Structure 1
Amino acid sequence: MGYTMGLNLLLLVAMVATNILSLYHLSSTLQSKPPLPPPVPDHLLHQLTTIRATINHLTRLHPPPSSTPKQPSTIPSDLLLYTHISTIASACHNYPDLLHKYMNYTPLKSCPLDSDVAESLMLRGCHPLPRRRCFVKTVSKIPNSLPVSPFGGLQDNAVLWNVYKCKSFGCLSPFLGFDMKREKDQLMGYKTDLDLPIQQLLQVAKSHGVVLRLGLDIGGGTGTFAAHMKLHNVTIVTTTMNLGAPYNEAVALRGLVPLHVPLQQRLPVFDGVLDLVRCGHAVNRWIPVAAMEFLLFDVDRVLRGGGFLWLDHFFSKAADLEKVFTPLIGKLGYKKVKWAVGNKMDSSGVKNGEVYLTALLQKPVSK
């Protein structure tokens, strides 16, 4: 029995000693620092960052299903739709081939003659365009003199004609706004109720106690409205695009300011600083209704209280004018100073049952 007790005591001492050694080894393992992992290469870090950003973006677009019932959205669906149409140049990623073509240049060298590519991107919602580090080509000889009058002749040698089919202003149709003799008579006469001559506009403004100083002509072509208003000491800035012809160059050659922005672009003007905004033929029924609504409310943003919105020969189908565009314009709550509707008598107008609307609307001083 004494032998058994001694053996048990020996086993107990061995077990205690084993536990003590195990605890010591575990303690020393926890206190020792693990070896540092090898450094991650930069290209892998970049890829991981890109993957993480993509996952976060997809998560925002398609959030995971929730166990709680989804509440109905209070944001109108058309507003949600339009945020994907022309928000802060996000549409650039939808046209990688065009974007690659536009950005395929040699830094610190001459830019390619690709204004057509730039406008293709802009009209698809990719605006503002990415900046580039290249030198834009300009005319080699500066004209000795420019016309004093905004209705003087346009000089061919002041334009790079490489990107256009025509190689001179004389080649372009006079109905596009490049014939200065013809443009001098535009907006001056009164033939129907659809016309609003410059003198009548000035008289209406005076009778309403509005001083016209600054304005914007949206889709103003070669700047004829701005040219007429310049003669009355009113500064008008013109938005225009070079769709197959040098519209921006023509505006500049007339001593006026062109803004190269598409219709869906937020107007690059501060809030409430303009006395007048004119919408020319570029603003018509071909603009999606949602885009038209945002355009009108952006016009309201830049107009000061008491300022005028002039819809000049806006055309649409007669039924759409009554059911769609008149209620849309009515959302602004502007006073109707002039509202005239007439049939559009060209072949397209007769075929599609289109009408013209000329409206002069005044923004309330306060809302």
Structure 2
Amino acid sequence: MGFTMGLNLLLLVAMVATNILSLYHLSSTIQAPKPPPPQQVPDHLLHQLHTIRATINHLTRHHPGSSSGVSSGNSKPPVPSDLVLYSHLSPIASSCHDNPDLLHRYMNYTPFSTCPLDSDLAESLVLRGCHPLPRRRCFSKTPTKPTSSLSQDPFPSSLPDSNVLWAKYSCKSFDCLNRFNPNLGFDPAHDIANFMTYKSELDLPIPQLLQIAKAANSVIRLGLDVGGGTGTFAARMKLYNITVVTTTMNLGAPYNEAVALRGLVPLHVPLQQRLPVFDGVLDLVRCGHAVNRWIPVTALEFLLYDVDRVLRGGGYLWLDHFFSKGVDLEKVYSPLIGKLGYRKVKWATASKTDSGGLKNGEVYLTALLQKPVSK
């Protein structure tokens, strides 16, 4: 009911605005004894009319009651729904109002008491573009008996289970997660050789990366790992005294907690969120497996230009094993990346050989690109 009334009101405002513009033209024509030369409508009136029309178009496309927050107008490849949400384009946080049921549940709490155990609800809102979340006046729940002795080593032999709230997860320990899939990154000792070996042209070991920067009279001190999982890349860079923060989401497992338990900084932000970093201050941005062909092209374009915003002149963008269909890499993604005007330090491609890659004709791309010092 409220949606229909609001839409009717906007339609009425649009009709009134259109009539005002028509009267404006009519009055200017009558006052002149001869047909005057064509006059342009003032820019502010055109802007208001365009705003009204854009709002109406948005509302008429909106489907109340949809729980996914993703438009169903175009057919999409069958990908996990959480990944689709993870890359949903939402330039501003108005999406909080597009999910009133979730927002009501999130804000239905008792002030000045312990917050509900609803981090999964919070993440659902974040993935739907409601970010930053509304602030609340309650105390976050912490583990009952956390260990006080945390390792300074970013590659500890194990991560302490007692420092995580496991209630919302099917696994109740890091050992369970490792048994389920040892490649998830929850066994730091298992990942200690990552980013250090060269197996194919798609690999860029960290020593080689640092040598490239040194040869270019550049320096890498500060970096950002976009979609960095449990923070293995940041952990390895820490051993070189390089500070890297990791953006990650808790998609079915405590990724943020794992990053923090390794003595690293997790940023709980989705791909569609503007990077919480000031302009031109980073030396390196790495985009791993979270950045791939499942991201809508427009969302990926916004991400690339936001990376450009935070990189300093001479800084590096590293697309690490980006995968897409081979034809899309040639016709869509290569031109999109090329718009940045970065220097290609490394550009390597290879066929993706797993079942999904063979079925869809997918390829990997590893690219190291350097931002111009000035434009």
Confirm whether residue 169 of structure 1 aligns to residue 174 of structure 2. yes
| Aligned counterpart for 2:18 among listed residues 41, 64, 82 | 64
SS in 2 for 1:64: helix
Segment drifting more, 133-142 vs 241-250: 133-142
CA distance in 2, matches of 1:158, 1:304: 37
| Aligned counterpart for 2:161 among listed residues 156, 160, 176 | 156
CA distance in 2, matches of 1:216, 1:63: 47
Confirm whether residue 252 of structure 1 aligns to residue 260 of structure 2. yes
CA contact (8 A) 1:88 1:128 kept: no
> Relative to 1, partners in 2 of residues 1:105 and 1:358: Cα closer, same or farther, differing over 3 Å?
same
CA distance in 2, matches of 1:58, 1:146: 62
Give the structure 2 partner of residue 115 of structure 1. 119
CA distance in 1, matches of 2:360, 2:16: 42
Question: Structure 1 residue 188: deviation in Å?
Answer: 1.0
SS in 1 for 2:145: coil
Give the structure 2 partner of residue 280 of structure 1. 288
Question: Structure 1 residue 140: deviation in Å?
Answer: 1.9
Give me the TM-score of the superposition, normalised by structure 2. 0.78
Give the structure 2 partner of residue 5 of structure 1. none
Give the structure 1 partner of residue 33 of structure 2. none
Question: Structure 1 residue 149: deviation in Å?
Answer: 1.1
> Relative to 1, partners in 2 of residues 1:58 and 1:290: Cα closer, same or farther, differing over 3 Å?
farther
> Relative to 1, partners in 2 of residues 1:94 and 1:115: Cα closer, same or farther, differing over 3 Å?
same
For residues 88-99 of structure 1, what are the structure 2 equivalents within 5 Å?
88-99=92-103
> Relative to 1, partners in 2 of residues 1:63 and 1:151: Cα closer, same or farther, differing over 3 Å?
farther
CA distance in 1, matches of 2:15, 2:281: 37
Give the structure 2 partner of residue 239 of structure 1. 247
RCO greater where, 1 or 2, for CA within 8 Å and sep 6 or more?
2
**Unmatched 5+ stretches in structure 2:** 26-39, 59-87
Give the structure 2 partner of residue 209 of structure 1. 217
SS in 2 for 1:282: coil
> Relative to 1, partners in 2 of residues 1:313 and 1:89: Cα closer, same or farther, differing over 3 Å?
same
Question: Residue type of the partner of 1:89?
Answer: A
User: How many aligned positions are there?
Assistant: 312
Give the structure 2 partner of residue 344 of structure 1. 352
SS in 1 for 2:18: coil
Question: Structure 1 residue 341: deviation in Å?
Answer: 0.5
Give the structure 1 partner of residue 237 of structure 2. 229
Give the structure 1 partner of residue 269 of structure 2. 261
CA distance in 1, matches of 2:16, 2:324: 38
| Aligned counterpart for 1:310 among listed residues 312, 318, 338 | 318
When Rg is computed on C-alpha atoms for both structures, the one with the higher figure is 1
Question: Residue type of the partner of 1:119?
Answer: E
Cα-to-partner distance string for 1:202-241 (whole Å, 9 max, x where unaligned) = 1111111111110100000000000000000000000000
For residues 130-145 of structure 1, what are the structure 2 equivalents within 5 Å?
130-145=134-149
Question: Structure 1 residue 146: deviation in Å?
Answer: 1.1
Give the structure 2 partner of residue 11 of structure 1. none
Cα root mean square deviation, aligned: 2.8
CA distance in 2, matches of 1:279, 1:61: 47
> Relative to 1, partners in 2 of residues 1:62 and 1:109: Cα closer, same or farther, differing over 3 Å?
farther
CA distance in 2, matches of 1:115, 1:126: 14
Question: Structure 1 residue 86: deviation in Å?
Answer: 1.3
> Relative to 1, partners in 2 of residues 1:323 and 1:61: Cα closer, same or farther, differing over 3 Å?
farther
> Relative to 1, partners in 2 of residues 1:352 and 1:145: Cα closer, same or farther, differing over 3 Å?
same
Q: Percent identity?
A: 70
**Unmatched 5+ stretches in structure 1:** 1-50
CA distance in 1, matches of 2:233, 2:327: 30
CA distance in 2, matches of 1:268, 1:303: 13
CA contact (8 A) 1:242 1:248 kept: yes
Question: Structure 1 residue 56: deviation in Å?
Answer: 8.0
Confirm whether residue 192 of structure 1 aligns to residue 192 of structure 2. no
Question: Structure 1 residue 57: deviation in Å?
Answer: 11
SS in 2 for 1:360: strand
> Relative to 1, partners in 2 of residues 1:333 and 1:57: Cα closer, same or farther, differing over 3 Å?
farther
CA distance in 2, matches of 1:348, 1:297: 29
Question: Structure 1 residue 61: deviation in Å?
Answer: 12
Question: Residue type of the partner of 1:160?
Answer: L
CA contact (8 A) 2:91 2:272 kept: no
CA contact (8 A) 1:85 1:91 kept: no
